[in-house]
Amino acid sequence: MKPPTRRYEYETDGAAIYRASFATIRREADTAHLPGDAEKVAVRMIHACGQPDLATDLHVTEDFVGAARAALRAGAPILTDAQMIAAGVTRPRLPRDNDVVCLLRDERVPLLARDFGTTRSAAAVSLWTERLEGAVVAIGNAPTALFHLLELLADGAPRPAAVVGVPVGFIGAAESKEALAAYAPRIPHLVVHGRRGGSAMAVAALNALAQDDEIGASVR
């Protein structure tokens, strides 16, 4: 197949684009308040949204990156509230071919949501219990899912190894992340305070945690 006529000047080398992008982020974003091992996670998240000021809303506990990476290396599953997150994880980056689980489409969810009087996203979290111990949790869509997770933990549910809490939205998102932050230091976590968040940010964090290599596994 013949390529189209080149009419614009632009970088076409994937690795070069990544290098230049990450260098730009490091010039423009202030990540000095973050733990040292969280810097690459922050850079990947900023790259996913194009907003260097995201760093100002990012809070990462000192033990988060170490706990999440150790869990993944031990084969722990990733439990998430959104199919988009599950689909976005770069599987070759995962150290142990870890399961990436979203139960939103489980046939039990609609009935549970009705019985609990909550959203389907929150109801699906109730189905995580058997795999929650030592798991890496990533919530990037539904504030109700994060609230529900915290309520389960308060009632004695198994404790995950680490939580990426970045639900997005105007109703409950900021509050759910404040609730997760208030749960510290009982659980290692990452949050983006305020209304910002979403599946792309959650995926970026997971992919950065799965493998420290910033460029090689990113270019496919």
The mean pLDDT values, 10 residues at a time, for the chain of 220 residues are 93 94 97 96 97 97 97 98 97 96 98 97 97 98 98 95 98 97 87 97 98 65
Question: Which two three-digit tokens encode residue 118?
Answer: 């909550």
User: pTM for this one?
Assistant: 0.94
Distance CA 78, CA 94 (A): 10
- List the catalytic residue out of 33, 47, 148, 189: 47
Question: Which two three-digit tokens encode residue 199?
Answer: 């599946």
pLDDT recorded at residue 185: 67
CB atoms within 10 A of CB 85: 27
- Bridge-partner residues for 1, per DSSP? none
Look at the block and give the residue holding tokens 């945690």: 209
> DSSP letters of the chain?
-PPPPP-S-----HHHHHHHHHHHHHHH---TTS-GGGHHHHHHHHHHHT-TTHHHHEEE-TTHHHHHHHHHHTTPPEEES-HHHHHHS-GGG-TT---EE--TT-TTHHHHHHHHTS-HHHHHHHTTHHHHTTPEEEE-S-HHHHHHHHHHHHTTPPPPSEEEE---SSSSHHHHHHHHHHHTTSS-EEEE-SS---HHHHHHHHHHHH---SSGGG--
pLDDT recorded at residue 220: 46
172: left (phi over 0), alpha (psi -120 to 50) or beta: left
Assess whether 47 carries a catalytic annotation. Answer: yes
Distance CA 164, CA 52 (A): 19
Question: Which two three-digit tokens encode residue 148?
Answer: 């529900």
